[in-house]
Structure 1
Amino acid sequence: MTANINVRFCKSVTIVMALCCVLFCGMMYIYFRPDTLKMFHFFRYIGILDILENMKRDPSVVSSWVLYNLPDGVWLFAYTIIIGCIWNFKIRDCWMFILVMPTISISHEFMQMPGIMHGTYDPNDVFAYIVALVAGFVYIYFIEKFAFKTVRRVERRRTSSLKLFLTMFTFSLFVLLAIGSDDTVGRISANTGCSFEKVEENHGD
């Protein structure tokens, strides 16, 4: 009975923690990032852009690393622990599903260096991904030792098809979140429709 309570408690804490991580990332983008991010175009489509624009704050009050790199790490940490939760915190069952996301993210980051992918290469992003991945695996390991130590293996099983469905759903959701936090090509403002890059070029001329 106590073991089952620990399991439910740890899963609940993990889900709440992941949601808080996603909320933190979202608020950082809404408060401090420009409206050239793809998410702001979606916000305009559903009619809440003006409300969110009024929430904007001066980004200079936040360090560059916290503003641009920390959300990437927090996002990956949230993904890692949610996948671990789906697979009952068994690293040997979920490691492959976890590593798919950082592999794509880090590869995308390196492909920005030669200009293969849109964006600007930042080694701090790679560092944030690695730290988040390690932290996520450490979290899963300790939860497994704490919550599942006395739980019989048969009680830890869940329908594999359900696990795979939840994994794919979570992966898709976090990919959408990543796409939403990316700058539009040409940095098109969701509010004015103007390209920041063209404006900068005109000022340069």
Structure 2
Amino acid sequence: MNSRIKHFLFHILIPFLTGGLLYISFRSKSIRLFSWCETIGLANYISIIRSVINPYKESIPNWVYYSIPDGLWMYSFTSSYMMLWQKDIYYGKYWLSFPFVFGWGFELSQGLGIIQGTFDVIDLTVYILAVSFSILFFTIQNNQYEKQKNTI
């Protein structure tokens, strides 16, 4: 399998879908996402997923289903920028700030009561870790590629 396809699967698609699965499995059905899913005909599928996974909720720490989905989405978002800009990271670094600023801005807006939601320091920490891991992985990957290219 092509390395770009592997990176897309493991660093963008799987984290994105896993975050979504955690979100629909454990979050309150009063969240707007569930009405959207009902509108597009996914409510029955979500009910099946929830009936299988939700019984495990009591044995899972709250931060896993409240903070990890956002962190996985942040990781996926950052990884997509890293893949897109890996050849010209000088210009891409400005775009890399977008997911981080957006995530932190959203969380701080909740804390200030500007938008509805619950401010959580754990969310901010997960955002930092997600962005850092993505940048670290792709930077190491890119450096290894450059070393290989220069030795050939």
Q: What is the rounded CA distance, in whole Å, between the counterparts of 2:72 and 2:60 in structure 1?
A: 16
Structure 1 contact 113–121 (Cα < 8 Å) conserved:
yes
- Which structure would you say has the larger Rg? 1
Structure 1 contact 89–143 (Cα < 8 Å) conserved:
no
Structure 1 SS opposite 2:86: coil
Q: What is the rounded CA distance, in whole Å, between the counterparts of 2:45 and 2:106 in structure 1?
A: 32
Identity of aligned residues (%): 22
Q: What is the rounded CA distance, in whole Å, between the counterparts of 1:89 and 1:68 in structure 2?
A: 35
Query: Which residue is 1:22 aligned to?
Result: 16
Structure 2 contact 107–119 (Cα < 8 Å) conserved:
yes
Q: Against the structure 1 CA distance between its residues 146 and 40, is the aligned structure 2 distance closer, same or farther, given a 3 Å change threshold?
A: same
Q: Against the structure 1 CA distance between its residues 131 and 124, is the aligned structure 2 distance closer, same or farther, given a 3 Å change threshold?
A: same
**Equivalent residues in 2 for 1:38-187 (5 A)?**
38-56=32-50, 57-58=54-55, 59-88=57-86, 90-151=88-149
Q: What is the rounded CA distance, in whole Å, between the counterparts of 1:27 and 1:89 in structure 2?
A: 32
Q: TM-score, normalised by structure 2?
A: 0.85
Q: TM-score, normalised by structure 1?
A: 0.65
Q: Shift in Å at residue 85 of structure 1?
A: 0.7
For this pair of structures, how many residues does the alignment match?
145
Q: Against the structure 1 CA distance between its residues 89 and 123, is the aligned structure 2 distance closer, same or farther, given a 3 Å change threshold?
A: farther
Q: Spell out, residue by residue over 1:11-31, the C-alpha distance to the aligned partner (whole angstroms, 9 max, x if none).
A: 222100111101111111122
Q: Against the structure 1 CA distance between its residues 20 and 44, is the aligned structure 2 distance closer, same or farther, given a 3 Å change threshold?
A: same
Segments of structure 1 that go 5 or more residues without pairing to the other structure are 153-205
Q: What is the rounded CA distance, in whole Å, between the counterparts of 1:64 and 1:90 in structure 2?
A: 39
Q: What is the rounded CA distance, in whole Å, between the counterparts of 1:41 and 1:147 in structure 2?
A: 45
Q: Supply the RMSD in Å over aligned alpha carbons.
A: 1.9
Q: Shift in Å at residue 109 of structure 1?
A: 1.0
Q: Spell out, residue by residue over 1:35-62, the C-alpha distance to the aligned partner (whole angstroms, 9 max, x if none).
A: 2222211211112202311321132232
**Equivalent residues in 2 for 1:27-38 (5 A)?**
27-38=21-32
Q: Shift in Å at residue 108 of structure 1?
A: 1.9
Higher relative contact order (CA 8 A, sep 6+): 1
Query: Given residue 113 of structure 2, which amino acid in structure 1 is its aligned partner?
Result: G
Q: Spell out, residue by residue over 1:60-97, the C-alpha distance to the aligned partner (whole angstroms, 9 max, x if none).
A: 23211111111111111111111111113543231111
Query: Given residue 132 of structure 2, which amino acid in structure 1 is its aligned partner?
Result: V
Segments of structure 2 that go 5 or more residues without pairing to the other structure are none
